[in-house]
Amino acid sequence: MLKTISLFGIEITCASREEILGWTLAEADEGSQVAIATLNAEMVMRAVDDPDFLRLLHSREIVIPDGRSIAESARRILAERIEVYPGIEFAFDLVRATTEGTRSVFLLGSKAGVAEKAVSHLREAIPGCKIAGFHHGYFRGEDDRIVALINESKATILLAGMGSPYQEFWLEENRERLESRILAGVGGSFEVWAGLHRRAPKWMSRIGLEWLYRALMDPGRLKRLGFIPRYLALERAEIRRSKRRKEGMQ
């Protein structure tokens, strides 16, 4: 298994991008099913508030540090340096991996038409990628049909872009019925691939302000930013606990 660190009660994968991608593909190629969560600060706060979501994260084979805030917290609290692997980049690397062998990918999520545009752009960006199918994310009450559609596609990789925590809970609830070997929640990746949203400039991502860029581009997100002061307070409390533990060991 890949190395992990425990942060905010969550086991987070602490490995390079190459190690994470390589391990995931190797496990899938050998027939194992790997469920992956891409963790950001908002998801941390949901796990603090929701024991069911925390248990779900514990059941993932890999929890990838998606945001810079997670890496900074690991440095401040545990003095650990971990590499950030944004979910959209991990998802893109998985699609690129379908150019090899018999791997293929299914895109599930977003509004009608978005996944289709994403598929078109992915095929331009990654010649030879194998996309087994796609479907929008508005299918409540039709899980049986959607699971059958994904299984019939024979897709090795299932990317669920339905927003957290819904995508994680849906994958968990249907995991035993899904035949895909890699199950990953990828948030709003399809909208970016479809050209509907843009990613933050690299300089903003480097200093951990991608959340601000998203809010400026989509004002509807502003009401979701209440988690930020709570996250910072949680981080400060964990830093104090860590210092007390170190002092007690001396």
Strand runs labelled E in the chain: 4-7, 10-13, 34-39, 62-65, 105-109, 131-135, 157-161, 182-185
DSSP annotation of 113: T
- Measured CA to CA, the distance from residue 90 to residue 70 in angstroms comes to 16
Lowest mean pLDDT, pick from 11-20, 140-149, 174-183, 224-233: 224-233
| Torsion angle in degrees (nearest 10) through CA of 87, 187, 65, 11 | -130
DSSP annotation of 84: -
Lowest mean pLDDT, pick from 5-9, 41-45, 212-216: 212-216
- pLDDT at residue 250 tops 90: no
Lowest mean pLDDT, pick from 152-166, 175-189, 233-247: 233-247
Q: If you average pLDDT over every residue of the chain, what do you get?
A: 91
- Measured CA to CA, the distance from residue 210 to residue 216 in angstroms comes to 10
- Measured CA to CA, the distance from residue 208 to residue 128 in angstroms comes to 34
Q: Which of 130, 119, 82 is nearest to 195 (CA)?
A: 119
> What is the domain partition of the chain in residue ranges?
4-249
Sequence-distant (≥ 6) Cβ neighbours of residue 26 within 8 angstroms = none
- Measured CA to CA, the distance from residue 196 to residue 78 in angstroms comes to 38
Averaged pLDDT, 212-229:
67
Amino acid in position 20: I
